Structure 1
Amino acid sequence: MPGPKDLDPSSSPRALLGAELRHAREKSGLSQEELGQRLFVSGSFIGQLEAGTRRMQPEYARLLDEALGTDDFFSRNCAAAAKSRYPEHFAEAADAEAMAAAIREYAPMLIPGLLQTAAYARAVNRAYDPTAHEDTVEEWVDGRMARTRLLDDPTKPLLWVVLDEAALRRVTGGRAVMAEALHHVADLVRRHRVIMQVLPFDAGAHTAMQGSLKLMDFEDAPPVVYFEGVRTGRLEDDPATVAQARFTYELLTASALPPSKSLAMLEMLAQDYAHEEHP
């Protein structure tokens, strides 16, 4: 497996921890596979820790200190690296998303977070917790909008989404909010920043009817897939699981409308929402 790219230790605690792990491992003369054997994990797992695509957990930090003779360095510092503005079930996936070279996502019921507007995100988060304080909701919205800044780069990461028609027709936050949200996605498509396909209702039964999935590929680490449910989620790097998820995504793209027809449908629905709001 190729070694991870050099990380900027000043960029984040997670980047510092990954850089220090790589340094300590190489100083000990161990390959990623050899260190992984001592922790009963794969070499790719170690590579993901070094690349910053996987969050270091306390139990692994302790084992790394023992295996590499680093006193309690990793144990002391993994807590700082684990701090996140995102819910616990999504924090590790958010870290991986920020470092991905390519993201492929299927969204069955809502517009994916990377494509959301602030008003749409606010409606979604308010629906998640109807009794939350306004300041709390705004913190959640700020976190989601921070994720969208990944798209400020004109080319990276590659983002390819398949939107279920249900996500486009479920009126979230009102018709004006939906009109703005769909126009925003259409603008990203027209600027060639995202590849978007719509999976229409008349496609019938399909391979991902049981939930959403997000595939993430990296330049210097193995790919992962993120599965999300109601207030839960898990990040998987098992090669067989990732391969099956990739096949599922390929089947979805084959069942979905081509990009040009998807854009036409998206813009038609956006216009409908706008006209219904202002007849």
Structure 2
Amino acid sequence: MTENVDEAGWDVEPGDEMEPMVQAVGRLLQVCREAAGMSVPDLAAALGYSEALIRKIERGSRIPRPEFLDKVDTLLKAQGHLRAFMEDMRRARYPKKVRDLADLEERAVEMLLYGSHNLHGLLQTPEYARALLEMRQPSYSTDVIERGVAARIGRKTVFEREPAPTLSFVQEQVTLERPYGGKMVLRRQLEHLLEVSQLRNVTLQVMPTDREEHAGAAGVIQVLKFADGTAIGRSSGAFNGRPVSGPKDLRILELRYGMIRAQALPPRESQSFIEQALGRL
């Protein structure tokens, strides 16, 4: 049986702080399997996965998907002991460098996001995200690409939160026109942008290329604000690209972002711009 990376999970990154928990889940899976009187081949056949995959998960070298834990908990009659780790494994599946960002986005009540070269990760379709990752040099492995796509799509739970966070996006015109992955990928991406722009908690604006003045010429800007009044921000063109949380530094980023919003097309005109771009494909 061929192991499917996307369905199975991802290898644990060396030095990952989640590694001990992944190993504990693997050991628990082995205990539950043996208590149920099943061999590794028996379990693999019953679940529809390879024996190699089961052995990797039990060794703690592979992060199981939450869906896998849900299915195997039922099969082994584990009484919820395996299912209890679903949320932890959902978090563990993010690459280390993305994990902290996902946690911040989950806590944010307001986000100010300006993108210059690519669409922001929260706006990307799976096909668009995959095209970006497949173009990276040196080349990523299939495992890294699939994990990266899953991480970006997983972050989109921010759109489903209650209460919903306030999201403001400003995207450069070129990010709506460059056909990463081909025209069909771009078409679906633009359709998705129109869908997102209809959400009451989302403001999406386009920065036209012909603007003579542009406060975002220095690069991307992200500001995340939290319920306790604190915030964190980052810009590729300020503070050496480091995250900042001091009031003075944040004020600089918010000022720049406010100017960018004022210089961009208003939301309704931006929607029309996207519709016209879609019509040209």
TM-score higher than 0.5: yes
Q: 1 or 2 for the larger relative contact order (CA 8 Å, sep ≥6)?
A: 1
Q: CA deviation at 1:134?
A: 1.5
| Mean CA deviation greater in 165-174 or 185-194 | 185-194
CA deviation vs aligned residue, 1:28-83 (integer Å, no higher than 9, x gap) = xxxxxxxxxxxxxxxxxxxxxxxxxxxxxxxxxxxxxxxxxxxxxxxxxxxx9xx8
Query: 1:15-164 maps to which residues of 2 (within 5 A)?
Result: 85-86=93-94, 89-129=97-137, 131-153=139-161, 156-164=164-172
2:256 aligned residue: 248
Q: What TM-score, normalized to structure 2? A: 0.63
Deviation per CA, 1:113-162, whole angstroms, max 9, x where unpaired? 11110000101111224622222201110000000121123751111100
C-alpha distance in 1 between matches for 2:218 and 2:96: 22
For 1:221 and 1:85, the matched residues in 2 are separated by 30
What corresponds to 2:179 in structure 1?
171
- Partner Cα separation in structure 2 for residue 84 and residue 209 of structure 1: 36
Q: Give the distance between the partners of 1:89 and 1:235, measured in 2 at CA.
A: 13
Say if 2:214 is the partner of 1:206.
Answer: yes
TM-score normalised according to structure 1 size = 0.63
Q: Which moved more, 1:99-108 or 1:201-210?
A: 201-210
Whether the aligned pair in 2 keeps the contact of 1:154 and 1:193 (CA below 8 Å) is no
Cα distance change on mapping 1:184 and 1:86 into 2, 3 Å: same
CA distance in 1 between counterparts of 2:186 and 2:168 reads 21
Work out the CA distance in 1 between the residues paired with 2:206 and 2:113. Answer: 12
**Residue 181 of structure 1 aligns to a residue in which SS?**
helix
* Residue pairs, 1:196-275, within 5 angstroms: 196-228=204-236, 234-273=242-281
Between structure 1 and structure 2, the one with the greater Rg is 2
Q: Where does residue 52 of structure 2 map in the other structure?
A: none
- SS for the counterpart of 1:101 is strand
Go from structure 1 to structure 2 and tell me whether the alpha carbon gap of 1:184 and 1:161 turns closer, same or farther (over 3 Å shift). Answer: same
SS in 2 for 1:111: coil
2:199 to 179, 184, 191: 191
Task: Give the corresponding residue for 1:38.
Answer: none
Q: Flag the 1:129–1:137 CA change in 2: closer, same or farther, 3 A.
A: farther
